[in-house]
Amino acid sequence: MARGDPELVALTGATGFVGFHIAARLRAHGLRVRALVRREDARLEALGVDQVRGSLDQPEALRVLVLGAGAVVHGAGVIAASAAEEFRRANVEGTARLVAAAGQWAEEVPFLLISSLAARAPHVSPYAWSKREAERALEAGADRLQPIVVRPPAVYGPGDRATLPLIAQLARGFLLAPKAPDNRFSLIYVEDLAELVAALLTRREVQASLLEPDDGRPGGYGWRDLAEQAAQRLGKPVRVLPLPRRLMLAAAFLAELGARPRGRPPRLSRGKVAELFHPDWVVSAPLPPGWRPRVDFGEGFARALSWYRAQGWL
């Protein structure tokens, strides 16, 4: 068994929203990055990232990806799917294959899994279940690796298409939100999350096997909190328009029916509605020692809005 090059990180999900930010921060910290990609990405090439063609269902590509690496960061995964089986194949089986590939040659190599706070409540949705099972797949290989599970809450920031509708609504002065005024949730700005990953693999100041990072706001946010912070930045009122659960479930059902013939994930699913109405998505662990977030939602909203406008997304 080998320990690998401490300056080389094997990364999945690098072409995605969170994964690209992680790749950029790792490179900024002087680490070499080898990324698994389905097709070569010019942005990664510009960062100086080595790219391995393949996917999580190709064991040989995974072997090439992890060989010689001093750490593995698994950020790839499915967040929207047309069927629960897709979550299992991508998030659970894909993780298990990568864990097996890393464990075949490496010993005591950190394996950092970007999970989700949703894994804390696997009964809520197929996505939440798949993230918890991905954690279990990593736990099964813990005797050969150093498992680190990072459970971020909702992640947002420049380049994210998933939260673009939220930012766009706030910018226009309204917010369609679940009719659940007592629900609370944590948030984290993408660059803060990426910096945490870099800190884990470089300074090694954060010593824990399960982390729940957020932006440091005690008790998290409610939907009206987002509207108020956005209003302060915009200099105009932002109204919250509450949507009943039955109405959102009906919209999700129709979205699923419409997406099925195309074989694409629906824009809104019943699983996502269940997640939105879950009462408590506030991180329960204290901030990881040796790391502090820098961006709260007011500042993060302003940065994301400026980026979207500059890129012509709004």
How far apart, in whole angstroms, are the C-alpha atoms of residue 141 and residue 62?
A: 16
How do strand 5-12 and strand 69-74 relate by DSSP bridges? parallel
Q: Which residues pair with 280 in a beta bridge?
A: 184
| pTM exceeds 0.85, yes or no | yes
Q: Is 220 left (phi over 0), alpha (psi -120 to 50) or beta?
A: left
The residue to which tokens 């464990």 are assigned: 103
314 assigned to some structural domain: no
State which residues form the domain around 74.
5-151
Tell me the per-residue pLDDT of 147-156, one tens digit each, with 9 for 90 and over.
999 999 999 9
Q: What is the pLDDT of residues 139-175, one digit of tens each?
A: 998 788 999 999 999 999 999 999 999 999 999 999 9
Of 233, 118, 222, 245, which is closest to residue 175 (Cα–Cα)? 222
At 179-203, the pLDDT tens digits run: 999 999 999 999 999 999 999 998 7
How many domains, in total, are found in the chain?
Answer: 1
Q: Kindly report the CATH number assigned to the domain that includes residue 42.
A: 3.40.50.720
Burial classification of residue 123, based on how many CB atoms lie within 10 Å of its CB (0-12 exposed, 13-18 middle, 19 or more buried) = exposed
Question: What is the torsional sign of CA 80, 82, 84, 85?
Answer: negative
In a domain, 197, yes or no: no
| Cβ-contact 140, 92 below 8 angstroms | no
How is residue 163 annotated by DSSP? S
CA 111 to chain centre: 16
Give the other-Cβ count within 10 Å of 59's Cβ: 14
CB 146, CB 204: distance < 8 Å? no
> Which is nearest to 28 in space by CA: 44, 47, 52, 50?
47
Write the CA distances from 38 to 14, 56, 81, 180, 301, integer angstroms: 10, 10, 18, 40, 31
Is the pLDDT reported for residue 3 higher than 80?
A: no
Please indicate, yes or no, if residue 77 is contained in any of the structural domains: yes
Tokens representing residue 296 in the block: 């709260």
Rounded average pLDDT over 14-24: 98
**Token pair in block for residue 211:** 């982390």
> In the chain, what are the helix, strand and coil shares in percent, each to the nearest 5?
45, 20, 35
pLDDT digits (tens, 9 = 90+) for 219-234: 999 999 999 999 999 9
Question: Is 3 or 144 the better-scoring residue by pLDDT?
Answer: 144
Q: Tell me whether residue 293 is in a domain.
A: no
| 11 beta partners | 35, 73
**213 part of a folded domain:** no
Rounded-to-integer distance, Cα 256 and Cα 84, Å: 12
Contact by Cβ (8 Å): 14, 27: no
Residue 265 identity (one-letter amino acid)? P
Q: Model confidence over 283-307: pLDDT tens digits? A: 988 777 778 999 999 999 999 999 9
Residue 54, both tokens: 């393949």
Average confidence score pLDDT of the chain:
94
Q: What are phi and psi of 239, to 5 degrees?
A: -90, 140
Residue with tokens 């948030």: 187
In a domain, 22, yes or no: yes
Q: Is residue 32 part of a domain?
A: yes
Helices 223-234 and 297-310 pack at an angle, to 10 degrees, of 60
The structure tokens listed for 35 are: 């990324």
* Confidence class for position 48, pLDDT limits 50, 70, 90: very high
* Structure-token pair, residue 36: 């698994």
The amino acid occupying position 287 is L
Q: Is residue 291 part of a domain?
A: no
What per-residue confidence (pLDDT) applies to 261? 84
